[in-house]
């Protein structure tokens, strides 16, 4: 991509677009106060209301959905324009929580696999800041074996009746629609009898509950479907071909988590809590700045962070030039999870007893270390576990033999499950 004229039909250069964005941002978006950066709590409805409000401003200003096609409410521009915009908006408050999963995963999947009506309605509503999307994939019986879902969708006259349950749905309480994978044919092997549906979350027949996490947050939800009725227009892709849609969704999720999606607008952490821990600051605050053991711990974490950035660049380049398969995004996802754990473990090792989570006993700035430790493994679970990532790397990148699948080729209704 050159920096002059786009291949997308606009005559505005990336540099001119960036200059126009710079002026517009200064006039229209709230500038971040470095002393008091925005603190976005995904579990709070107010954070989503604020994100929608900011998204509406972007839309009204003509800077929303930069890489989504014009017919679905976007600008139809190349990634170079989005990158330029991201560089310009770093010091402004942005609706970052809309990136995952709404834009980068759900809208991207609808764009690839949805009907014309789904694209026109859902993608444009999200870009306007009117709607939020979520993923309804994992079930109480397990999330790793996604093709083994047991939520059922049975055909009726002109539609479907859904019964079953989903869980761990990120921010579903704030969402308007969810992409939900259900089983539509039990007489064929597991990957062949699935269908993806776009579910309106306020429909009768859905009971949603928040899940309380160990760190006190309540961002995840579980949903129970009791004879939820959907029309044929809710089907995404083809009936019984839901695995293709789910695979596309997982592909977009890997790209989103790796930071390589053109559909993400704005960069950086959603709030200060997600910034890498300040190991040097912690060492100073606990009087250990001159301790060689502490310096070594902090150095090891810093090196890992630098290597992570190089790995992201290398893998992104290699996928783009075809020297690595698209599945290689899993390398970034795994390394990201392991780096986050090392960084938080290191912070706890340095802070020691000062990080004890005890309702305010710890020194300012240190309490956060203990709370973060409680949720340090989210990166190695969300979007598929680190074990599953290792399986993908072994089998699909390194070419190792596939793991034995006892249910391969067997009709799903004859597969032994649980205690059966
Ligand atoms: C931050 C976060 C966000 C999430 N958001 C969503 C969301 O929006 N929507 C949604 O549907 N789900 C979501 N999830 C759920 C997530 O997808 C699941 O937690 C994940 O897929 C694992 O499923 P499980 O927890 O049921 O574990 P299980 O599948 O029960 O696995 C249990 C353990 O067994 C291991 N294991 C299982 N199979 C294998 C195998 N074949 N080889 C080796 N090890 C194996 C796993 O690695 C794991 O350690 C989210 C989870 C987190 C932490």
CATH number at residue 234: 2.40.110.10
Does one domain contain both 339 and 315? Answer: yes
CA 138 / ligand 1 centre spacing (Å): 7
pLDDT bin (cut points 50, 70, 90) of residue 171 is very high
Helix 79-88 vs helix 14-28: angle between axes, to the nearest 10 degrees?
40
Does one domain contain both 284 and 348? Answer: yes
33: in domain:
yes
Annotate 81-114 with b (16+ C-beta within 10 A) or e (fewer). Answer: bbbbbbebbeebbbbbbbbbbbbbbbbbbbbbbb
Q: 391 CB less than 6 Å from ligand 1?
A: yes
- Choosing from 79, 100, 130, the residue where a domain stops is 130
For the ranges 105-109, 232-236, 320-324, 371-375, which has the lowest average pLDDT?
371-375
Most confidently modeled range among 30-34, 312-316, 340-344, 369-373? 340-344
Secondary structure letter of residue 14 according to DSSP: H
Does one domain contain both 85 and 145? Answer: no
Average pLDDT over all residues of the chain: 91
- Tokens representing 348 are 């706890």
Question: Ligand 1: which residue has its CA nearest to atom 25?
Answer: 143
Domain harbouring 332, CATH code: 1.20.140
402: in domain:
no
Does one domain contain both 393 and 280? Answer: yes
Domain harbouring 27, CATH code: 1.10.540.10
Task: Write down the pTM of the prediction.
Answer: 0.91
186: in domain:
yes
- Using one digit for the tens of pLDDT, what is the confidence trace for 130-139? 999 999 999 9
pLDDT bin (cut points 50, 70, 90) of residue 239 is very high
Annotate 266-303 with b (16+ C-beta within 10 A) or e (fewer). Answer: beeebbeeeebbebeebbebbebeeeeebeebbeebee
Does one domain contain both 158 and 53? Answer: no
Mutate to test the pocket of ligand 1, among 211, 270, 385 (most ligand atoms within 8 A of CB): 385
Judged on CB neighbours under 10 Å (0-12, 13-18, 19+), 2 is: exposed
CA 386 / ligand 1 centre spacing (Å): 9
CA 335 / ligand 1 centre spacing (Å): 17
Total structural domains within the chain: 3
**What pLDDT was estimated at residue 5?**
40
283: in domain:
yes
Quick check: 75 and 12 in contact, CB under 8 A? no
> CA dihedral defined by 60, 66, 67, 71, rounded to 10 degrees?
30
Does one domain contain both 281 and 393? Answer: yes
- Whole domain around residue 59: which residue ranges? 17-130
Does one domain contain both 283 and 393? Answer: yes
4: in domain:
no
Does one domain contain both 362 and 317? Answer: yes
- Tokens representing 72 are 């679905």
Q: 342 CB less than 6 Å from ligand 1?
A: no
Residue of 388, 100, 420 whose CA lies nearest to 266: 100
Q: 375 CB less than 6 Å from ligand 1?
A: no
**What pLDDT was estimated at residue 4?**
38
pLDDT bin (cut points 50, 70, 90) of residue 26 is very high
CA 387 / ligand 1 centre spacing (Å): 9
Does one domain contain both 245 and 153? Answer: yes
The pLDDT of residue 330 is above 60 = yes
3-state SS, residue 152: strand
Does one domain contain both 163 and 245? Answer: yes
Does one domain contain both 337 and 290? Answer: yes
Backbone angles phi, psi at 149, to 5 degrees: -60, 145
- Choosing from 130, 148, 171, the residue where a domain stops is 130
CA 382 / ligand 1 centre spacing (Å): 7
């Amino acid at each position: 991509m050159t920096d002059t004229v786009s291949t997308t039909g606009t005559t505005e250069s990336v540099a001119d677009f960036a200059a126009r964005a710079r002026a517009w941002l200064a006039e229209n978006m709230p500038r971040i106060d470095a002393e008091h950066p925005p603190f976005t709590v995904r579990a709070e409805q107010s954070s989503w209301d604020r994100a929608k409000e900011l998204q509406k401003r972007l839309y009204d200003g003509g800077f929303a959905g930069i890489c989504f096609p014009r017919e679905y409410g976007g600008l139809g521009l190349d990634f170079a324009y989005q990158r330029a915009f991201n560089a310009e908006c770093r010091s402004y408050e942005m609706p970052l929580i809309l990136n995952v999963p709404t834009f980068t995963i759900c809208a991207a999947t609808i764009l690839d696999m949805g009907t014309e009506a789904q694209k026109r309605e859902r993608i444009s509503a999200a870009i306007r800041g009117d709607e939020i999307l979520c993923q309804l994939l994992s079930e109480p019986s397990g999330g790793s074996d996604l093709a083994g879902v047991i939520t059922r969708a049975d055909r009726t006259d002109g539609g479907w009746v859904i019964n079953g349950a989903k869980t761990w749905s990120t921010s579903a309480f704030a969402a308007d629609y969810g992409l939900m994978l259900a089983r539509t044919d039990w007489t064929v092997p597991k990957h062949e009898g699935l269908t993806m549906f776009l579910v309106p979350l306020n429909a009768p027949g859905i009971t949603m509950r928040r899940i309380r996490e160990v760190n006190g947050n309540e961002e995840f939800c579980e949903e129970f479907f009791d004879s939820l009725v959907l029309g044929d227009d809710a089907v995404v892709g083809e009936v019984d071909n839901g695995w293709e849609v789910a695979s596309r969704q997982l592909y977009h999720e890997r790209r989103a988590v790796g930071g390589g999606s053109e559909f993400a607008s704005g960069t950086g952490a959603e709030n200060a809590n997600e910034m890498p821990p300040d190991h040097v600051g912690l060492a100073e605050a606990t009087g250990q700045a001159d301790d060689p053991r502490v310096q070594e711990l902090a150095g090891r974490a810093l090196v890992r962070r630098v290597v992570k950035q190089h790995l992201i660049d290398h893998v992104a380049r290699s996928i783009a030039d075809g020297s690595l398969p698209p599945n290689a995004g899993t390398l970034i996802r795994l390394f990201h999870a392991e780096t986050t754990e090392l960084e938080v473990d290191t912070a706890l090792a340095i802070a020691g007893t000062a990080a004890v989570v005890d309702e305010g006993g710890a020194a300012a700035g240190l309490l956060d270390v203990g709370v973060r430790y409680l949720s340090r493994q989210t990166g190695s679970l969300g979007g598929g576990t680190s074990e599953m990532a290792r399986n993908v790397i072994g089998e699909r990148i390194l070419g190792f033999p596939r793991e034995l699948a006892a249910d391969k080729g067997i009709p799903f209704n004859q597969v032994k499950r649980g205690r059966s």
